Amino acid sequence: QVQLQESGPGLVKPSQTLSLTCTVSGGSITTNYYYWSWIRQPPGKGLEWMGAINYSGSTYYSPSLKSRTSISRDTSKNQFTLQLSSVTPEDTAVYYCARARTRIVADRGVGYWGQGTQVTVSS
């Protein structure tokens, strides 16, 4: 069974860049025809799809975040990463990575999800 694990700093200063890595085991990030997504959940709010990278390396972003979001991958390590620039306290959330057959994911019942990692934006 495929497993996903998020990692990265839990605390980021305002105006800096949030960087997270999703390490995948039990399956390849190049396997047809999956999308590998980043989703977040701010306190008291619902899940928000941020973007995805597919099996061939194509990227897709939420319109509200695309100006400061970058998703990339390292196939040799079977990892994909999230970078979110110019962060503010509004970016404080639990961040998840996930695999699904669909590009946009906002349902924990669809696909495989990591456990999530808390990221706090604070000075």
DSSP secondary structure code for residue 110 in this structure: S
* 53-100: pLDDT as tens digits: 999 999 999 999 999 999 999 999 999 999 999 999 999 999 999 999
Contact 35/54 with Cβ under 8 angstroms?
yes
Rounded distance, CA 116 to CA 41, Å?
A: 9
* 13-56: pLDDT as tens digits: 999 999 999 999 999 999 999 999 999 999 999 999 999 999 99
Angstrom CA distances, 104 to 18, 44, 120, stand at 21, 21, 24
Q: What are phi and psi of 120, to 5 degrees?
A: -115, 130
DSSP secondary structure code for residue 106 in this structure: -
> Is 106's pLDDT higher than 90?
no
Q: Which residues pair with 69 in a beta bridge?
A: 84
